[in-house]
Amino acid sequence: MSPTRDWYPSRHCIASGLRSVACIVLTVLSLAAKPLPPPLQTSPIFTQEGNRIDAWLGYSVATIGDQDGDGHSDVLTTVPGFSDLFSGQPCALLYSPTQGFQIWGGAHCAALVADAGDVNGDGHRDLIAAIRMEDRRVEIYFGPLDVGQNDFQPDWVVRTSSATFDMFGESVAGAGDVNGDGFDDVIVGVPGAYGSGTNGQALIILGSALGPSTTPATVLEGTWPEGRFGQTVAGAGDVNGDGYDDVLVGAPWYFNPQDYGAAYLYMGGPSGISNVPAWSTSVTMNSAWTGQAVASAGDVNGDGFADVIVGDNSWRMPTSRGGEGHAAVFLGSANGLATSPSWSVYGGSRNAGFGRAAASAGDVNCDGYSDVIVGSWASFDPNRLTNDRVLVFLGSATGLKTSPAWTVSMPQVDDTLGFGYAVSSAGDVNGDGSDDVVVGCPWCANDQAKEGRVFVYTSTRGCGT
């Protein structure tokens, strides 16, 4: 695709309110100039294959800041298909720009990894991992991760003993600091917890100087039988600016009876997360699966209130557009999240699967507005029209732009790849001041079927220009 026209003023110009003559001249010249190239490279600075059949490398991707202290953000990915090879042994993989790609000793063949924030308040970001092996459990490793060493033992573990069907840890995320005590908190999804009035759960677990609590402070409950409440969870940031972080929970199988799938926002406060949702959204469309992705969008319009993104499947009529997928951004404000989305984008063709993964991209173009990355991947329909793609949309004073500033596609149409199944900000991997992105393709194959692959893309311009 062609890059969108955009103007990228320097940080100096933003800070000075564009008052200087140089900035005015720069503005005029920029507006008259050719469109700028995409904010991110279209070739990865780094890529790694699983190199083993069914390794599923790239199933989950995350950034957890700079763990090895080299001044560059590091990237973590899971490789859950190694679990039989490494039974009980380390198999999460970490990419450090200065140390390369290596097995990191921990997260026992986790399916999912996420940035837990700083749950014990020691100034280091911690990692939360969900393991789906002989049992389901969730582990937290306190940062800094022992890169290059074998750090086998998690610092915190919660497991389910006999409830193998509750899907414990189907989703995990950092929740931010929901009760304002200075310790970051986490959220764990249990979408298969059914029975006795339970219709899926999400557990809020509070951090402390000693680490996370062993029991949840709040158990959020779904309202619809088998709605898969907790299939997705995310920290929302502070959407209403009250100083307490808020959380998102998706229930993509919710059906009541016109709404298909739902996403909920729960507000933080001095005593933690309220167990009554402050906001919800749903789509009146069969098999919409609203909430298949929920994520903080960062602050896409720079007003100081965190914004959120919600993905749905959008099984639209006519069926020629069925399954194209859709994502919507809802803006925060002092009153909470807006009822209607400020940004609403569809996949554009049958079974494009747009919005099955979505995340904040950080700020890839260094303009002070958060940007968003969306995966459009892996149709099960062999007749679909588009390749797997990943797109980045730029924030602005008026919100997220509707045309992507950066798009990368897999070269062939192949419904088994999954390029964009997992997407995340990578933090600032190359140290140029602007944020980079990481993309997982767990069923990519280059010799071994479903070996998986991960891609890191860096910014083209950096800051200060």
Question: Nearer Cβ to Ca ion, position 9 or 106?
Answer: 9
Q: What is the DSSP string of 341-391?
A: -SEEEE--STT--EEEEEEEEE-TTSSSS-EEEEEE---S-TT--S--EEE
Question: Nearer Cβ to Ca ion, position 53 or 210?
Answer: 210
Question: Nearer Cβ to Ca ion, position 49 or 299?
Answer: 299
Q: What does the alpha-carbon distance between residue 78 and residue 98 come to, in Å, rounded to a whole number?
A: 20
CB of 418 to Ca ion, least distance (A): 27
Cα→Cα distances 350→65, 325, 382, Å? 37, 9, 10
Stretch of 182-190, 319-327, 335-343, 450-458 lying at the interface with Ca ion (CB under 5 A): 182-190
Q: What does the alpha-carbon distance between residue 130 and residue 15 come to, in Å, rounded to a whole number?
A: 42
CB of 268 to Ca ion, least distance (A): 5
Candidate residues 77, 78, 120, 179; the one interacting with Ca ion per rule CB under 5 A: 179
With CA atoms as reference, report the closest residue to 360 among 115, 41, 2.
115
Question: Nearer Cβ to Ca ion, position 307 or 388?
Answer: 307
Dihedrals phi, psi of 14, to nearest 5 degrees: -65, -45
120 binds Ca ion (CB under 5 A): no
Candidate residues 74, 118, 371, 451; the one interacting with Ca ion per rule CB under 5 A: 371
- The residues facing 247 across adjacent strands are 235, 266
Cα→Cα distances 121→236, 296, 304, Å? 20, 22, 24
CB of 116 to Ca ion, least distance (A): 11
Q: Which of residues 380-439 bind Ca ion (CB under 5 A)?
A: 395
Task: Tell me if residue 27 falls in helix, strand or coil.
Answer: helix
> Burial letters for 412-441: b for 16+ Cβ neighbours within 10 Å, e otherwise?
eebbebbbbbbbbbbbbbbbbebbbbbbbb
CB of 110 to Ca ion, least distance (A): 23
**Other beta carbons less than 10 A from residue 68's beta carbon:** 17
Question: Nearer Cβ to Ca ion, position 166 or 307?
Answer: 307
CB of 404 to Ca ion, least distance (A): 13
Q: What does the alpha-carbon distance between residue 131 and residue 268 come to, in Å, rounded to a whole number?
A: 27
With CA atoms as reference, report the closest residue to 198 among 162, 157, 168.
168
343 binds Ca ion (CB under 5 A): no
122 binds Ca ion (CB under 5 A): no
Quote the tokens at residue 298: 């960062």
240 binds Ca ion (CB under 5 A): yes
301 binds Ca ion (CB under 5 A): yes
CB of 120 to Ca ion, least distance (A): 11
My answer on whether omega of the bond before 318 falls inside 30° of 0, hence cis, is yes
With CA atoms as reference, report the closest residue to 239 among 302, 339, 309, 307.
307
Question: Nearer Cβ to Ca ion, position 167 or 247?
Answer: 247
CB of 26 to Ca ion, least distance (A): 18
Stretch of 18-26, 222-230, 244-252, 383-391 lying at the interface with Ca ion (CB under 5 A): 244-252
CB of 67 to Ca ion, least distance (A): 22
CB of 164 to Ca ion, least distance (A): 30
Quote the tokens at residue 445: 């194959």
Give the position of tokens 């193998």.
164
- ∠ CA(388), CA(391), CA(397), 5° rounding? 165
Question: Nearer Cβ to Ca ion, position 229 or 266?
Answer: 266
Q: Which of residues 247-286 bind Ca ion (CB under 5 A)?
A: 268
459 binds Ca ion (CB under 5 A): no
Q: What does the alpha-carbon distance between residue 409 and residue 336 come to, in Å, rounded to a whole number?
A: 36
305 binds Ca ion (CB under 5 A): yes
Q: Which of residues 50-79 bind Ca ion (CB under 5 A)?
A: none
CB of 295 to Ca ion, least distance (A): 14
Candidate residues 6, 66, 363, 451; the one interacting with Ca ion per rule CB under 5 A: 363
365 binds Ca ion (CB under 5 A): yes
299 binds Ca ion (CB under 5 A): yes
Candidate residues 246, 388, 428, 436; the one interacting with Ca ion per rule CB under 5 A: 246
Stretch of 131-139, 160-168, 170-178, 383-391 lying at the interface with Ca ion (CB under 5 A): 170-178
CB of 359 to Ca ion, least distance (A): 14
Chain residues that interact with Ca ion, rule: CB under 5 A: 177, 179, 181, 183, 185, 238, 240, 242, 244, 246, 268, 299, 301, 303, 305, 307, 363, 365, 367, 369, 371, 395
